[in-house]
């Protein structure tokens, strides 16, 4: 039970997306490996082909925001409107901001003191091609989450694409280490779907903002699907075939590998932001909002908010 609880905790903390290992995504329609929401959007990967025009990309962390530190109303009934009017930026309530800021600081230190040094050492000895292959492997294991999400969103084309990708990459991609499905010939791009997004597509509001220790930015809606994504992610079952500590080691390795491919992104965000906490929060909510809007069929042009705005 102890090992199971530890695995669940570690999974929950890691898979939501570490605040300090910003997920690289070229566009909301083609995020990086993790099936979980990722906060930082800095286009830098070369292994994913953005299927959407540049207008669809989420505002980069360098983009100035007009949110102000400490101006959030802690009223839990804040009229969060995910279905914002055209041209308006998405917003999110932050009633537990003191806690969130504490967790933000914790994650920040964890990143700079532990994760980044380990990832830098790992990067120094492992060639980029190998690290990309490892990322591809774990991404391929995320197939069940994406497939189920596609089905729950009644998107058959999405589900079929995922099945095709998984088959091709597993069989001809050496167990997922390679990604032939994304080649120009096959053009089976990874679907940018997850269970939290599915709830959003169903019309479930995202609730308030939460920063999880280790895991980083999230919302109530994205947090409640952690269990579902845990059970749909094959490495979660490592304890069934190996000692209990193998699972956490594998997940930690996955995180180190992912971080090694994005060193510098989080630093860029911090340098560009007046208040990194607010910038991260805004980037996260905007990214999730666009991801859901795109799934609902919104036009790309509609997803260009006039600016970021926090509820007061």
Partner 1 sequence: MTLAIHGIAAAGGPFGPPQPIAREAGGLHTAIGYWHHEDRYKNGTEFVTRQDQVYSEAGYGAQNRWDIYARIGVSNLKIQDAFSSTNALTTTSNNDFDENWKFFGTLGAKVFYPFGKTFGMGAFVQGTYSFNSLKDDVSGTNNGTPYRAVLTVQDLWDVNFGIGFQATVPYGIRLYAGPYVYYSEGTASLSTNVPGLQFSTTDTTIKNTTNAGGFAGIDLPLAKGFRLNVEGQYSERLSAGGAITYTY
Residues that bind partner 1 (CB under 8 A): 168, 171-175, 178, 180, 183, 185-186
Measure the CA–CA gap between 222 and 208, rounded to whole angstroms: 10
200, HSE (Cβ side, Cα atoms, 13 Å): 27
What are the beta bridge partners of residue 211?
217
DSSP 183: S
Minimum distance of partner 1 from residue 254's CB (angstroms)? 23
Nearest Cα residue to 132 out of 191, 89, 173, 164? 173
Handedness of CA 267, 269, 270, 276 (dihedral sign): negative
Q: Among residues 76 and 183, whose Cβ is nearest to partner 1?
A: 183
Measure the CA–CA gap between 113 and 115, rounded to whole angstroms: 7
Q: Among residues 168 and 211, whose Cβ is nearest to partner 1?
A: 168
Minimum distance of partner 1 from residue 239's CB (angstroms)? 24
Q: Among residues 79 and 185, whose Cβ is nearest to partner 1?
A: 185
Give the CA distances from residue 288 to residues 73, 82, 198, in Å, rounded to whole numbers and listed in that order: 21, 10, 11
Minimum distance of partner 1 from residue 92's CB (angstroms)? 43
Q: Among residues 183 and 299, whose Cβ is nearest to partner 1?
A: 183
Minimum distance of partner 1 from residue 190's CB (angstroms)? 18
Asked if 68 and 184 touch (Cβ cutoff 8 Å), the reply is no
Asked if 233 and 15 touch (Cβ cutoff 8 Å), the reply is yes
Q: Among residues 120 and 183, whose Cβ is nearest to partner 1?
A: 183
Q: Among residues 177 and 268, whose Cβ is nearest to partner 1?
A: 177
Minimum distance of partner 1 from residue 183's CB (angstroms)? 7
Q: Among residues 73 and 167, whose Cβ is nearest to partner 1?
A: 167
Q: Interior CA angle at 291 toward 310 and 278, to 5°? A: 30
Minimum distance of partner 1 from residue 182's CB (angstroms)? 11
DSSP 178: S
Minimum distance of partner 1 from residue 88's CB (angstroms)? 43
What tokens appear for 117 in the block? 């040094």
How distant is the alpha carbon of residue 219 from its chain centre? 12
């Amino acid at each position: 039970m102890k090992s199971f609880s530890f695995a669940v905790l570690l999974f929950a903390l890691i898979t939501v997306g570490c605040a300090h290992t910003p997920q690289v995504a070229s566009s909301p329609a083609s995020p990086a490996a993790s099936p979980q929401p990722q906060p930082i959007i800095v286009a830098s990967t070369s292994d994913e082909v953005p299927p959407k025009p540049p207008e669809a990309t989420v505002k980069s962390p360098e983009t100035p925001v007009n949110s102000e530190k400490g101006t959030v109303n802690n009223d839990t009934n804040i009229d969060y409107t995910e279905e914002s009017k055209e041209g308006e930026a998405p917003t999110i309530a932050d009633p537990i901001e003191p806690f969130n800021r504490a967790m933000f600081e914790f994650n920040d230190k964890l990143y700079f003191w532990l994760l980044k040094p380990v990832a830098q050492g790992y990067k120094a000895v492992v060639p980029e091609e190998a690290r990309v292959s490892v990322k591809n492997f774990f991404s391929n294991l995320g197939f069940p989450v994406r497939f189920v999400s596609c089905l729950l969103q009644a998107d058959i084309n999405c589900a079929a694409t995922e099945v095709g990708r998984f088959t091709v990459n597993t069989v001809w991609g050496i167990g997922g280490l390679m990604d032939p499905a994304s080649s120009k010939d096959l053009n089976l791009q990874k679907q940018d779907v997850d269970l939290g997004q599915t709830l959003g597509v169903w019309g479930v509001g995202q609730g308030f903002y939460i920063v999880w220790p280790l895991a980083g930015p999230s919302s109530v809606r994205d947090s409640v699907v952690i269990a579902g994504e845990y059970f749909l992610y094959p490495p979660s079952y490592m304890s069934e075939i190996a000692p209990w500590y193998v699972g956490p080691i594998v997940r930690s390795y996955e995180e180190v590998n992912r971080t090694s491919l994005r060193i510098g992104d989080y630093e860029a965000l911090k340098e560009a932001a007046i208040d990194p906490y607010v910038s991260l929060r805004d980037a996260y909510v905007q990214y999730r909002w666009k991801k859901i809007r795109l799934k609902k069929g919104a036009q790309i042009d509609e997803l260009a908010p006039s600016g970021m705005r926090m509820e007061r």
